[in-house]
């Protein structure tokens, strides 16, 4: 469950449930509210090693941090959430990498299906409003 909260410094942060090895039972991980995070930031937030993150980038399409002009990885909040989801699938739920890829693909397809349904409903509503305005004329 995600909650926005603030710390003593007034900095906005996002709470995400702790998952995976070293996450601590019942704890939550705080993600500082920044536009981009360096790999060291992601390491401290997720408890993973940098080489694991770099390897996962080669394996998971969901994890593609952009590179700065100097070539440093710039992770977004969405990237960190994806890392935490992958970590949970691999470490907590015991999936293999290929199994985790399949699970993520199914979730992405399900989300796309919902988006497509919502868009179809919007288009239908728009069409019905046009018909109603024609009938009122």
By residue range, what is the domain housing residue 69?
Answer: 1-94
Say how far apart CA 133 and CA 126 lie, in whole Å: 11
Domain match, 15 and 74 both: yes
Grouped pLDDT means (10 residues each) for the chain, 137 residues: 45 46 51 87 94 95 91 92 94 94 86 78 90 87
User: How open is the CA angle 107-79-56, to the nearest 5 degrees?
Assistant: 80
E strands present in the chain: 3-6, 12-17, 28-32, 66-67, 73-74
Domain match, 83 and 101 both: no
Domain match, 60 and 2 both: yes
* pLDDT at 80 (0 to 100): 93
Domain match, 16 and 39 both: yes
Say how far apart CA 64 and CA 122 lie, in whole Å: 31
Q: Is the overall model pTM greater than 0.85, yes or no?
A: no
Residues 110, 112, 115, 120, CA torsion sign: negative
Residue 37, classed as helix, strand or coil, is: strand
CATH number at residue 14: 1.10.1660.10
């Amino acid at each position: 469950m995600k909650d926005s909260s603030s710390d003593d410094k007034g900095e906005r942060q996002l709470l995400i449930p702790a998952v995976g090895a070293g996450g601590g039972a019942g704890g939550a991980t705080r993600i500082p509210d920044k536009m981009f995070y360096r790999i060291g930031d992601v390491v401290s937030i997720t408890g993973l090693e940098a080489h694991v993150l770099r390897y996962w980038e080669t394996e998971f399409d969901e994890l593609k941090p952009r590179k700065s002009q100097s070539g440093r990885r710039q992770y977004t909040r969405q990237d960190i959430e994806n890392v935490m989801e992958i970590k949970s699938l691999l470490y907590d739920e015991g999936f293999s990498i290929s199994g985790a890829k399949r699970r993520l693909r199914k979730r992405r397809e399900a989300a796309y299906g919902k988006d497509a349904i919502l868009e179809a409903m919007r288009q239908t509503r728009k069409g019905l409003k046009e018909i109603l305005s024609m009938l009122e004329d």
